[in-house]
Amino acid sequence: MAETVFAPWDDANEKPLIRFRNVTKRFGDFVAIDDLTLDIYEREFFALLGPSGCGKTTMMRMLAGFEDPTEGAIELAGQNIAGVPANKRAVNMMFQSYALFPHLTIWDNIAFGLRRESSDKVAIAERVDEMLKLTRLEKFARRKPHQISGGQRQRVALARSLAKAPKLLLLDEPLGALDAKLREATQFELMDIQEKTGTTFVIVTHDQEEAMTVASRVAVMDEGRVMQVATPTVIYEAPNSAYVADFIGDVTLIEGVARARSTPATGPATSAEEPAPAAQTVRTPQPNALGLWLHDKVLAPVIGARKDIVRQLPPPSATEAEPAPNAPVEVPSGGVEIDWADGQPPLISVDGDPALDGKRVKLALRPEKVAISKSKPQAVNVLQGKVIDIAYLGNLSTYHVELANGTMIKAQTANTRRVARRDITWEDNVWVSWSGTAGVVLDT
């Protein structure tokens, strides 16, 4: 099973397609990209994720050839591409606004790039028709861009940028202009096309859900720096900083001082061999249920089974399953304890790094890993508080629970039964609990 995993970044023999080497880009005094080093491999679907102004668009424009780095080098297939103008690069870009030429038909838009390098009319026509077919636009070939819908325009832009079979395709917020429903369907279409054509995709987005859905790896950026580069699962489950934990998904951060626990963690907590138990559904919200369904039922017959191994977690340990009430809890040893408030028991994280001993740390807790109950449960970490707010999201409910010292903790439950659990309501005194492996300890 291991050999089917697509992970060239773990393979030392693999040569990256793109290599940013200590790249810095300044606009006057403003540092858009700050000493950035990054490798992107062939056939990757790589996402640059960050808030606006974090430098992700600048990186893309440097790859396309519209900006040159102030310092450092960018290599494409081992060659420094600084100074190569945009029209001489084997890189194509899909623009955020799509930038379809309004005076040309869909057919001519797609043929535009091909005509620049070849005058073989037959070959061009063949290639354009192939692209039209790939993006299911055959019917609209003779229309002008303003005569088709937004979703179709998006596909024309994709077809046009893929027509020249670039080594690398850049997508600048490719789905930003589409409404939520269409965006979801299009995400899978994009992944499908990427897999079919074998092109390396680099996508720029500020939408974390989009990045997590489509990408093989995500680079989370902030203020011109890459904060973390990893697979979506690692980014979500093992963020390396409070910034990443906070940027991706919902999180509660509890600050305190770490203390190393006596013995290193052993046993089930680090075992990666066990099959995933039922708790898995709670742990991986990405890709979402509709997406998985679409893929399995619609796409799987065409493109084969979903390679979600890429995004799979090391299976959770037994202790991480929802604690059965009133059953005695066995606390695994190792990890750290966090003293976070006077008169409160320390919080235990069994995979916290003991080297953090004595430091100020933050414990990052995903709401779906925090259980909520009216009676005191048996768990590694149990705290009492009061329900301040309830957000009902349909499939999930999020409770905002205020602890005695004012700390707010979010707990999420899946609404698996149609009739909502009405036993917990505003102002109720409740217990929140989580396992020893649920939280991530982050250096502040």
Residues making contact with other proteins (CB under 8 A)? 64-66, 85-88, 91-93, 95-97, 99, 101-103, 112-113, 116-117, 144, 146-152, 160-161, 164
Chain length of the chain: 444
Rounded CA-CA distance 113/94 in Å is 13
- For the bound state, the minimum distance from the C-beta of residue 51 to other proteins, rounded and expressed in Å, comes to 21
Give 97 or 263: the residue with its C-beta nearer to other proteins.
97
- For the bound state, the minimum distance from the C-beta of residue 199 to other proteins, rounded and expressed in Å, comes to 15
Rounded CA-CA distance 423/382 in Å is 19
Q: Please give the single-letter amino acid code of residue 249.
A: G
Give 176 or 267: the residue with its C-beta nearer to other proteins.
176
Rounded CA-CA distance 278/270 in Å is 18
Rounded CA-CA distance 300/289 in Å is 15
- For the bound state, the minimum distance from the C-beta of residue 298 to other proteins, rounded and expressed in Å, comes to 20
Give 3 or 29: the residue with its C-beta nearer to other proteins.
29
Tell me the β-bridge partners of 386: 402, 429
Rounded CA-CA distance 102/300 in Å is 36
Give 7 or 86: the residue with its C-beta nearer to other proteins.
86
Determine contact, residues 255/407, Cβ cutoff 8 Å: no
Give 100 or 218: the residue with its C-beta nearer to other proteins.
100
- For the bound state, the minimum distance from the C-beta of residue 41 to other proteins, rounded and expressed in Å, comes to 22
With CA atoms as reference, report the closest residue to 322 among 372, 279, 284, 385. Answer: 279
- For the bound state, the minimum distance from the C-beta of residue 299 to other proteins, rounded and expressed in Å, comes to 22
Give 161 or 317: the residue with its C-beta nearer to other proteins.
161
Number of neighbours of residue 146 by Cβ within 10 angstroms: 8
- For the bound state, the minimum distance from the C-beta of residue 89 to other proteins, rounded and expressed in Å, comes to 8
Rounded CA-CA distance 56/34 in Å is 12
